[in-house]
Amino acid sequence: SQQQQQQQQPGTQRPSFGIAFDIDGVILRGRNPIGGSPQAIRRLYADDGTLKIPFIFLTNGGGVPESKRATELSGLLGVQISPLQVVQGHSPFRELVKRFENELVVAVGKGEPATVMSEYGFKKVLSIDEYASYFDDIDPLSQYKAWSSKQAYDKNHMPRESQLSYNVLSDSVKGAFVVSDPVDWGRDIQVLCDILRSGGIPGREKGHQPPLYFAADDLEYQAAFPCERLGMGAFRIALESIFNKIHSSPLEYISFGKPNPFAFKNAEAVLRQIVSKTYNTGNIMNEAKEHKFSTIYMIGDNPSVDIKGANKAGDPWFSVLTRTGVFRGKDNHTQFPANLVVETVEEAIDYILKKEL
């Protein structure tokens, strides 16, 4: 409305578009910024450092709380990124807290998977490292693993046995969450099979499979190595093939993350929230619901994840494929063609700002 427009600062007219950036293979390779990402991102801020264009990071990666990832990204890119702007593969696990709030759940993956879950509100969560440590001889290969003695299971965060109000060995695991890329595939597959086929207590008789959730299902992704690395989807295939050989009923699971349409619906809702916070006029919740984007750009490197998902999400999504990660083709991808193919994220931002401003 007119009144709302008057309340805004000069030059802060609400943009009708938003941007979602993939991280691995677009913004970073390993921990190194690529494709001119720091310059590109800086163009989305005003000279005084305030956000000018609503954007989020929409990554299938994770392993640390959104607040910590925001701080890391701020350091790497030289701008102020808020936790709200970081949507990771596991971010939707937050929505499952009601169902599992006081149940024992196991969190799998690199980084601090149990800290991530307890920040979402899960009260009885153990990392698979810590969980496995209670069961003597559960991993017959542990003595050959040079790292096992140093294994850090969210030490500073999670209580040790003496402080736990329950008995890990007899309490059944009610849910398993693969939060980030598993580190010790062999041990993790073994322990997950133990939990899932026993109905929640390793070594017990067979029982009903507890629910299993994956943050994403990427077969491969772009890290620091010159060619793709196996991702969470590859781990899922390994676990599933083995489980289905040793168990009478097939593995049941749910995968979140891109290309699941839910990830794009959620991203749109988060972008709307950012708009209402940035261009704060009147009732925030109503504003967030009302704001309609003419276009949301998904800038990604993986045709079967980022582009497939954005294309399937449809209006207002517009897919942009870079050549800095998984995709290196000369022309467009044949099976999942993007609306636009560019070399780098910098080129993508150039295109978007020329078109929109």
Q: What phi-psi label fits residue 3: left (phi over 0), alpha (psi between -120 and 50 degrees) or beta?
A: alpha
DSSP 194-258: HHHHHTSSTTSPP-PPPPEEES---SEE--SSSS-EE-HHHHHHHHHHHHHHHSSS----EE-ST
- Among 179, 319, 316, which residue's Cα sits nearest to residue 259? 319
Sign of CA dihedral 60, 61, 65, 68: negative
The answer to the question of residue 231 lying near ligand G3P (CB under 6 A) is: yes
The residue nearest Mg ion at its CB is 25
Q: Is position 25 an interface residue for ligand G3P (rule: CB under 6 A)?
A: yes
Q: Residues 55, 213, 221, 256: which binds ligand G3P (CB under 6 A)?
A: 221
Residues 128 and 108: beta-carbon distance below 8 Å: yes
Instruction: Quote the least distance from Cβ 316 to Mg ion, whole Å.
Output: 21
Q: Is 61 in the site for Mg ion (CB under 5 A)?
A: no
Tokens representing 343 are 């070399």
Q: Residues 61-90 vs ligand G3P: string with x where CB under 6 A?
A: x-----------------------------
At which residue do the structure tokens 């993986």 appear?
302
Is the Cβ of residue 180 or residue 190 nearer to ligand G3P in the bound state? 180
**25 lines the binding site for Mg ion (CB under 5 A):** yes
> Based on CB atoms, which residue is closest to Mg ion, 60 or 118?
60
Q: How many residues make contact with Mg ion (CB under 5 A)?
A: 5
Lay out the site mask for Mg ion across 294-313 (x = CB under 5 A, - = otherwise).
-------xx-----------
Binding mask 201-220 for ligand G3P (x = CB under 6 A): ---------------x-x--
**Of residues 117 and 215, the one with the C-beta less far from ligand G3P:** 215
181 counts as binding ligand G3P under rule CB under 6 A: yes
Question: Which of 19, 22, 153, 236: binder of ligand G3P (CB under 6 A)?
Answer: 22
Query: Which region, judged by CB under 6 A, interacts with ligand G3P, from 56-64, 68-76, 284-292, 313-321?
Result: 56-64
Give how far Cα 342 sits from Cα of 193, 301, 324, 338, Å.
Answer: 43, 10, 9, 10
Of 297, 348, 354, 352, nearest to 35 by C-alpha is 348
Interaction of residue 60 with ligand G3P, rule CB under 6 A: yes
Output the CA angle 126-129-134, nearest 5 degrees.
80
Least distance from C-beta 308 to ligand G3P, angstroms?
13
Residues whose CB falls within 8 Å of the CB of residue 272, separated by 6 or more in sequence, listed in order: 288, 289, 291, 293
Residue 225 Cα distances to 28, 29, 32, 316, angstroms: 12, 8, 12, 34
Residue 216 interacts, among ligand G3P, Mg ion, none and using kind-specific CB cut-offs from 5 to 8 Å, with ligand G3P
CB of 134 to ligand G3P, least distance (A): 28
Please identify, among the stretches 18-26, 33-41, 100-108, 135-143, the one whose residues bind Mg ion according to the rule CB under 5 A.
18-26
Burial label, 160 (beta-carbon count in 10 A; 0-12, 13-18, 19+): exposed
Q: Which residues bind Mg ion (CB under 5 A)?
A: 22, 24-25, 301-302
